[in-house]
Copies of this chain bind each other. A is one copy, B any other.
């Protein structure tokens, strides 16, 4: 991260002992010292408008848009241009991201690797992804520029926290309305999460939909 000029690290539910060791190591970067630590991925990406998951999907059928790493740069550039903030999510070395983690991602990116040896070392995968992001442009610089030039608020994309709030209210509404049998609730919540990320809601739109569902929910609960 430091090599390619990235500064904002969030660590989700780290293994306490390893994390303490890493932070107190002699060569520990400011980056580690200043890392945020959260209990779940939703908190880590709450401020982000574009959340990109990573990892081999060999054993899993992807539920979102899949893109190849070289295709990511223009997408991220467009996101910064409209005032967005982006997160890349990496899973633990051995098992990668869970299905629940992936449901918080707008898209999944795959490093194009040889089919005979698709699985990469985590540190190398991170290096390759950040090299690609830094390659064409300087994403952090663009991000700052975009924030400075303040695009029309109607175009500002929703942050992960807006979408999570909305997903929660929709889930509650589905329950209150007896929309789905109990056995289907988890699956439906999952599908709503994915859908909210597919449709690329602007912040005002997300607010509007949230208002609607809150109203519906209030009526249902009366």
Contacts from A to B (Cβ < 8 Å): 2-5, 29, 69-70, 111-114, 116-121, 123-125, 127-128, 131-132, 134-135
Contact = CB atoms under 8 A, between A and B. Distances in A.
Nearest to A127: B124
Contact of A123 (B69, B111, B124): B124
B112 A134 contact: yes
Q: Which 9 A-B pairs have the closest CB atoms?
A: A124-B127, A2-B117, A5-B114, A3-B113, A128-B131, A3-B120, A3-B117, A127-B128, A127-B127
Contacts of A4: 113-114
A127 B131 CA distance: 10
Contacts of A3: 111, 113-114, 117-120, 124
A74 to B, nearest CB: 15
Contact of A70 (B118, B124, B135): B135
A128 B130 CA distance: 9
Contacts of A135: 70, 112
5 contacts: A3-B124, A120-B127, A121-B127, A124-B127, A127-B128
Nearest to A115: B5
B117 A29 contact: yes
Contacts of A112: 134-135
Contacts of A70: 135
A69 B128 CA distance: 12
Nearest to A119: B3
Contacts of A124: 3, 123-124, 127
A131 B111 contact: yes
Contacts of A113: 3-5
A121 B118 contact: no
Contacts of A127: 120-121, 124-125, 127-128
A2 B121 contact: no
Nearest to A140: B114
Nearest to A7: B114
